């Protein structure tokens, strides 16, 4: 659990507005897991999607996305459907997971495909040509860092 360096709290998000301040955190590390569960948790959190975007993109913050954390940073979370590793049914309600969702903090129209291997290239190209747009391929052991790109 991440605790803000200016607080003794163990909560991810403090109860006051310091979440939007420049000095609240240095790194926001979002790891893997089920992409759809993560996305639903972001959208339905106390700060919601807009708060998450402000948190991830505030001045001085470095967003590090690994696996589901990288997908969530993209424009669309549908890249998680390509391999079939994540079960979208962990989230109740209706979502069009194909071309909706995603925080869009990775750049306009950019999606992320983690755990990339050459064997997935055909499916990734299908995704791009089918309306998924530009997709950054992230190999095993790599992550996406805003302002930097792929690090591994």
| Domain ranges for the chain | 25-151
CA dihedral 39, 44, 45, 46 (to 10 degrees): 160
Q: Is the pTM of this model over 0.85?
A: no
Neighbour-count burial of 47, counting CB atoms closer than 10 A to its CB (0-12 exposed, 13-18 middle, 19+ buried): middle
Question: For 75-89, what is the mean pLDDT?
Answer: 91
Residue-level pLDDT at 124 = 97
**Residue 139, strand partner residues:** 116
- CATH code assigned to 25-151: 3.40.50.880
User: How confident is the model over 8-41, as pLDDT tens digits?
Assistant: 444 444 454 444 444 456 888 999 999 999 988 8
């Amino acid at each position: 659990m991440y605790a803000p360096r200016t607080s003794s709290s163990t909560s991810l998000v403090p109860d006051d507005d310091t979440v939007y301040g420049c000095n609240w955190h240095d790194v926001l590390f979002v790891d893997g897991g089920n992409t759809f569960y993560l996305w639903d948790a972001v959208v339905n959190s106390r700060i919601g999607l807009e708060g998450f975007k402000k948190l991830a993109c505030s001045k001085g913050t470095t967003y590090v996305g690994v696996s589901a954390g990288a997908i969530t940073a993209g424009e669309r979370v549908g890249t998680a459907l390509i391999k079939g590793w994540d079960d979208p049914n962990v989230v109740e309600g209706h979502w069009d997971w194909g071309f909706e969702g995603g925080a869009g903090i990775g750049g306009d129209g950019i999606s992320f495909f983690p755990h990339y291997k050459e064997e997935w290239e055909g499916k990734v190209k299908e995704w791009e040509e089918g309306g998924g747009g530009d997709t950054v391929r992230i190999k095993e052991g790599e992550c996406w860092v805003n302002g930097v790109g792929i690090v591994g």
